[in-house]
């Protein structure tokens, strides 16, 4: 069956012959080498190419290839810095961070937002929320604490973890929601994440 694909590099067919013409064979090999070279990936702006016997690896640097997408700020974004020998963290202010059954709670009602707060390492950055016995919202605060809270009128959620090398591992990228639940047979509130559009 004849090959239906066109020979775009004009290498011609390779056939076993009893007495091959050396010049034609060398010419075909040179065209084949040129075809391979034309298909080879080269290092470029924002990426590098590594070749081995196992294959070729294309390493693309972040935010350089294709469409450049700006990093999106998200709710409860945690940053860390060192100032005067002390490690500090900050949870940046965004609007409508927290939702209860009564609706959105804005950032002005959450303590500790948009402030640099000192903390030892490693630590969890948590949002702690308090409700009254009727499960009405009372207060919310951002703090550093490695202990989750399990109480009928108070609970918390881990926003991020800051390890010993000051690397932030973000846990929450969306809005936080408070909902009623049953904990050890008693009514309680729990916090989880929810995207709100």
Looking at the structure, tell me whether residues 51 and 90 fall in a common domain.
Answer: no
Q: Give the pLDDT of residue 94.
A: 75
- Is residue 2 situated within a structural domain? no
Token pair for 93: 């202010």
Looking at the structure, tell me whether residues 100 and 190 fall in a common domain.
Answer: yes
44-to-51, 60, 61, 141 alpha-carbon distances in Å: 15, 10, 11, 48
- Is residue 69 situated within a structural domain? no
Q: Give the pLDDT of residue 192.
A: 86
Task: Determine the 3-state secondary structure of 26 from DSSP.
Answer: helix
pTM: 0.60
**Is residue 197 predicted with pLDDT exceeding 50?**
no
- CA dist 104 and 101 (Å) reads 8
**Is residue 9 predicted with pLDDT exceeding 80?**
no
Token pair for 185: 């047979």
Last residue of a domain, one of 39, 64, 89: 64
- Is residue 1 situated within a structural domain? no
Q: By residue range, what is the domain housing residue 11?
A: 7-64
Looking at the structure, tell me whether residues 190 and 157 fall in a common domain.
Answer: yes
**39-43, 71-75, 138-142 — which is least confidently predicted?**
71-75
Q: How does residue 64 score in pLDDT terms, banded at 50, 70 and 90?
A: low
- Is residue 32 situated within a structural domain? yes
The residue among 113 and 64 whose pLDDT is bigger is: 113
- Is residue 133 situated within a structural domain? yes
Mean pLDDT of 145-165: 85
Give phi and psi for 89, each to the nearest 5: -125, 160
Structural domain total, the chain: 2
Looking at the structure, tell me whether residues 48 and 85 fall in a common domain.
Answer: no
Looking at the structure, tell me whether residues 134 and 181 fall in a common domain.
Answer: yes
DSSP assignments along 124-150, one per residue: EEEEEEEE-TT--EEEEEEEE-SS--E
- Is residue 73 situated within a structural domain? no
Looking at the structure, tell me whether residues 179 and 113 fall in a common domain.
Answer: yes
Mean pLDDT of 6-26: 73
- CA dist 183 and 19 (Å) reads 87
Give pLDDT tens digits for 92-135: 877 667 777 677 788 888 899 989 999 999 999 999 988 888 77
Looking at the structure, tell me whether residues 49 and 94 fall in a common domain.
Answer: no
**Is residue 1 predicted with pLDDT exceeding 50?**
no
Q: Give the pLDDT of residue 80.
A: 93
């Amino acid at each position: 069956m004849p090959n239906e694909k066109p020979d775009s590099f004009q290498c011609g067919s390779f056939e076993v012959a009893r007495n091959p013409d050396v010049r034609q064979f060398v010419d075909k090999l040179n065209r084949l080498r040129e075809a391979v070279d034309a298909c080879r990936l080269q290092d470029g702006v924002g990426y590098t190419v590594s070749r081995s016997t196992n294959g070729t690896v294309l390493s693309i640097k972040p935010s350089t290839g294709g469409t450049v997408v700006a990093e999106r700020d998200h709710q409860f974004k945690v940053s860390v810095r060192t100032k005067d020998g002390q490690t500090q963290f900050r949870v940046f202010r965004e609007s409508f961070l927290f939702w209860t059954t009564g609706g959105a709670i804005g950032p002005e009602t959450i303590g500790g937002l948009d402030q640099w707060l000192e903390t030892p390492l490693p630590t969890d950055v948590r949002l702690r929320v308090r409700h009254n016995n009727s499960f009405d919202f009372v207060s919310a605060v951002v703090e550093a604490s490695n202990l989750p809270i399990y109480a009928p009128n108070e609970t918390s959620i881990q926003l991020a973890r800051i390890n010993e090398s000051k690397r932030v591992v973000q846990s929450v990228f969306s809005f936080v929601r408070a909902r009623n639940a049953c904990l050890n047979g008693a009514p309680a509130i729990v916090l989880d994440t929810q995207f709100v559009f």
